Amino acid sequence: MSVAKAGEFGLIARITARLPAGQSTLLGPGDDAAVVRAADGRVVASTDVLVEGRHFRRDWCTAQDVGHRAAAANLADIAAMGATPTALLVGLCVPTNLDARWAEELSDGLGAEAALVGAAVVGGDMSGSPTLTIAVTALGDLGGLAPVVRTGARPGDVVAMCGRLGYAAAGYTVLSRGFRTPKVLVDAYRRPEVPYSAGPEAAGLGATAMIDVSDGLLADIGHVAKGSGVAVDLRRDAFEVPRQMRDAAHALGVDPYTWVLAGGEDHALVATFPPGLALPPRWRVVGVVREGSGVTVDGRPFRGPTGWQHF
Amino acid sequence: MSVAKAGEFGLIARITARLPAGQSTLLGPGDDAAVVRAADGRVVASTDVLVEGRHFRRDWCTAQDVGHRAAAANLADIAAMGATPTALLVGLCVPTNLDARWAEELSDGLGAEAALVGAAVVGGDMSGSPTLTIAVTALGDLGGLAPVVRTGARPGDVVAMCGRLGYAAAGYTVLSRGFRTPKVLVDAYRRPEVPYSAGPEAAGLGATAMIDVSDGLLADIGHVAKGSGVAVDLRRDAFEVPRQMRDAAHALGVDPYTWVLAGGEDHALVATFPPGLALPPRWRVVGVVREGSGVTVDGRPFRGPTGWQHF
């Protein structure tokens, strides 16, 4: 059944009936607005838009995959402030001939990804549009800690990261060349594995700055360097290139470090910490903060693409 | 200069430089997420999407007008919960050949409308898209009061409204017939005048249910009736048809009550109150809540269109 036939209110009812509730949801979908717990007295909020053909393709990803990816991109932004996500709101623009099931399964993916961190879809809006577009807003709670911003890195800090790098970019390249394997890379593109809990962990450890890698490590740590007025030097040998990524890179004629250093969408968290701190093992030290400006790898500029172009 | 030439980060920098700060903004645009005061310990949140050609036309409205309308639609949802808006987030999808000035002026309109209630644009995202699309999320604070939901109306309650009805619908009809006057109607379509402060006022007065009129009074009070399991009867003579609206209706061959009772987008607030309450003068009693179901006007079903179709 098309979304036009299901009708706005019918489709919304079908979608909301499938959505799990969250522990911070005080009033969920169905009213003018939702009400979400914000125990801290502050709320963290971020919005991301995904446009078909630009941020996702329906022939590469199931509707559930797109839901997972859309939620992950937003929930990672909340984690990168050091906060715990509490809620998602979803603005959905759909061609009127879209199968209503696609919208329902998208919501399933959004709800399932949110549930990984105890959050839930609490509201949204829907409209017809020639262009399938998903606008997601995520809310989060700081749990009494100061937000970890991009502007706090200081010379002498160490740069550490948690999560995966290059997997989603490799999966994207694989898919764009018409392949469907290696599965680990393609799956990483379809449903990123974001280390959400590492965000509040870093805040608790005293991280001076943090960002999630959505546009590529060099571009994103570049935002931290610029915002903080410092230079960042990364150590190339700190990054591991797993075997399947190395093999795929070889087969496709790609330098795998392009994926690792310039590929986005894995939503790893990268933070700067005061020197001498004992970091939990999932945080890997990959560089240092210095006086100056710009980002280097082993002291030199990295040659190759450095991030995602949005236009 | 096109948005493609300005570039995502350049355009975002130009836009955020023009945005006023709000009294609840703890961390504004420029980081992974914003931080907004939520003193109440709860946050109210709502999302609306506007799609070009469906919700707005660039030849009917300036970019600033579109910003005002987009913000108003969302801020009204917050007011309709009895809350005071604190922040907006904006997901903007733009054709790459759009003049960057249009995006800047849109943001000016969003910021100016938000400033009317002390709120501000605190964050957003931007992407290229074939379809100009604006996704706005509004946040708000309940100030210690319970949210006023759609499900609380009880038989015996009075139905009262605050704000204008039919103006925006009349302006829409005027514009769609190729006219540009009467100015009061066209301006009402371009920049709705929303009685934001009446929302928290109604909550403080003990409103049992509330909604903002975005799809048309009959449709929206119908949501309250259905959600509350009650019937609503409106009195036709409680609604005033101003002279300019009556004249325009006559000239265009339209029943002005179609605009008043079924026209949306003025974002009047309609609430139900326990009987016998002394309401401030800006609240006009327009009907009663009864046992049963459905919405009637003077005891009979209203003939004519009853609201906006989203697909």
Token pair for residue B243? 């002279």
Q: Both A174 and A257 in a single domain? A: yes
Minimal Cα–Cα distance from A254 to chain B, Å? 27
Q: Taking CB atoms and an 8 Å limit, are B89 and A46 in contact across chains?
A: yes
Residue B310 in this model has a pLDDT that exceeds 70? no
Residues of A195-205 as b/e, b for ≥16 C-beta within 10 angstroms? bbebbbbbbeb
Q: Taking CB atoms and an 8 Å limit, are B43 and A139 in contact across chains?
A: yes
Binding residues of A for ATP: 124-125, 150, 214
Minimal Cα–Cα distance from A97 to chain B, Å? 10
Please give the interface size between A and B, counted as residue pairs whose CB atoms are below 8 Å apart: 236
Calculate what percentage of chain A has a pLDDT beyond 90.
Answer: 88
Residues of B in contact with A224 (CB under 8 A): none
ipTM confidence score:
0.94
Q: Both B73 and B112 in a single domain? A: yes
Residues of A in contact with B56 (CB under 8 A): none
Q: What are phi and psi of B63, to 5 degrees?
A: -60, -40
Q: What number is the average pLDDT over the span B194-217?
A: 97
Alpha-carbon distance A198 to A76, whole Å?
10
Which pLDDT tens digit goes with each residue over B114-146?
A: 999 999 999 999 999 999 999 999 999 999 999
Q: Both B287 and B227 in a single domain? A: yes
Token pair for residue A184? 């680990």
Residue the block writes with tokens 């009075």: B158
- Supply the mean pLDDT for chain A: 94
Q: Both A162 and A85 in a single domain? A: no
Cα–Cα distances in angstroms (integers) from residue A295 to residues A102, A190, A217, A291, B70, in the given order: 42, 29, 10, 11, 39
Contact A38, A138 (CB under 8 A): no
Q: Both B125 and B217 in a single domain? A: no
Residues of A in contact with B126 (CB under 8 A): 49, 310
Asked whether residue A307 is domain-assigned, the answer is: no
What pLDDT shows up at residue B173? 95
Residues of B in contact with A135 (CB under 8 A): 47, 49, 91, 125, 133, 135
* Residue B117 CB burial class (10 angstroms; 0-12, 13-18, ≥19): buried
Among B141, B173, B199, the domain boundary falls at B141
* Residue A250 CB burial class (10 angstroms; 0-12, 13-18, ≥19): exposed
Q: Both B170 and B258 in a single domain? A: yes
Closest by CA to A187, choosing from A308, A52, A69, is A69
Asked whether residue A304 is domain-assigned, the answer is: no
Among B77, B107, B141, the domain boundary falls at B141
Q: Which ranges of chain B does DSSP label H, i.e. alpha helix?
A: 3-6, 8-18, 63-79, 100-115, 167-176, 183-190, 198-205, 217-228, 243-252, 256-262
Asked whether residue B311 is domain-assigned, the answer is: no
Identify which of A8, A46, A131 has the shortest CB distance to residue B32: A46
What pLDDT shows up at residue A17? 86
Alpha-carbon distance A34 to B77, whole Å?
10
Closest by CA to A270, choosing from A114, A141, A164, is A164
Confidence of residue A307 (pLDDT cuts 50, 70, 90): low
Contact B154, B208 (CB under 8 A): yes
3-state secondary structure of B227: helix
Q: Taking CB atoms and an 8 Å limit, are B27 and A147 in contact across chains?
A: yes
At A100, the amino acid letter reads A
Asked whether residue A7 is domain-assigned, the answer is: yes
Residues 6+ apart with CB under 8 A from A47: A74, A135, A136, A137, A138, B89, B90, B91, B123, B124, B125, B135, B137
Q: Which residue range(s) make up the domain with A89?
A: 3-141
What pLDDT shows up at residue A306? 61
Q: Taking CB atoms and an 8 Å limit, are A49 and B311 in contact across chains?
A: no
Identify which of B124, B142, B227 has the shortest CB distance to residue A47: B124
What pLDDT shows up at residue B56? 95
Among B116, B141, B166, the domain boundary falls at B141
Q: Both A274 and A174 in a single domain? A: yes
Q: Indicate if the alpha-carbon torsion angle A22, A24, A25, A26 is positive or negative.
A: positive
Confidence of residue A21 (pLDDT cuts 50, 70, 90): confident
Residue the block writes with tokens 């009262």: B160
Q: Both A196 and A231 in a single domain? A: yes
3-state secondary structure of A206: coil
Alpha-carbon distance B90 to B70, whole Å?
10
Q: What angle do CA A106, A107, A110 make, to 5 degrees?
A: 90
Residue B26 in this model has a pLDDT that exceeds 60? yes
Confidence of residue B306 (pLDDT cuts 50, 70, 90): low
Q: Both B103 and B14 in a single domain? A: yes
Residues of A in contact with B81 (CB under 8 A): 31-33, 35
Q: Taking CB atoms and an 8 Å limit, are B8 and A310 in contact across chains?
A: yes
Asked whether residue A306 is domain-assigned, the answer is: no
Half-sphere exposure of residue A110, counting CA atoms within 13 Å on the CB side? 30
Alpha-carbon distance A10 to B229, whole Å?
18
Domain count across chain B: 2
Q: Taking CB atoms and an 8 Å limit, are B150 and A26 in contact across chains?
A: no
What is the radius of gyration, based on Cα positions, of chain A? 20
Q: What is the CATH number of the domain that holds B59?
A: 3.30.1330.10
Residue in chain B lying closest to A310 (CA): B127
Q: Taking CB atoms and an 8 Å limit, are A43 and B51 in contact across chains?
A: no
Q: Taking CB atoms and an 8 Å limit, are A33 and B83 in contact across chains?
A: yes
Binding residues of B for substrate: 55, 265, 308
Q: Could you tell me which residue, A12 or A199, shows the higher pLDDT?
A: A199
Alpha-carbon distance B191 to B109, whole Å?
10
Identify which of A45, A126, A227 has the shortest CB distance to residue B33: A45
Q: What is the CATH number of the domain that holds B253?
A: 3.90.650.10
Which pLDDT tens digit goes with each residue over A211-266?
A: 999 999 999 999 999 999 999 999 999 998 999 999 999 999 999 999 999 998 99
Q: What angle do CA B213, A29, B71 make, to 5 degrees?
A: 45
Q: Taking CB atoms and an 8 Å limit, are A32 and B87 in contact across chains?
A: no
Contact B8, A50 (CB under 8 A): no
Minimal Cα–Cα distance from B249 to chain A, Å? 29
Confidence of residue A10 (pLDDT cuts 50, 70, 90): confident
Q: Both A91 and A180 in a single domain? A: no
What pLDDT shows up at residue A12? 87
Q: Taking CB atoms and an 8 Å limit, are A55 and B127 in contact across chains?
A: yes
Asked whether residue B213 is domain-assigned, the answer is: yes
What pLDDT shows up at residue B13? 86
Residues 6+ apart with CB under 8 A from B201: B280
Q: Which ranges of B26-139 does DSSP label H, i.e. alpha helix?
A: 63-79, 100-115
Q: Indicate if the alpha-carbon torsion angle B83, B84, B89, B90 is positive or negative.
A: positive
Which pLDDT tens digit goes with each residue over A266-292?
A: 999 999 999 999 999 999 999 999 999
Q: Both A131 and A188 in a single domain? A: no
Q: Both A24 and A64 in a single domain? A: yes
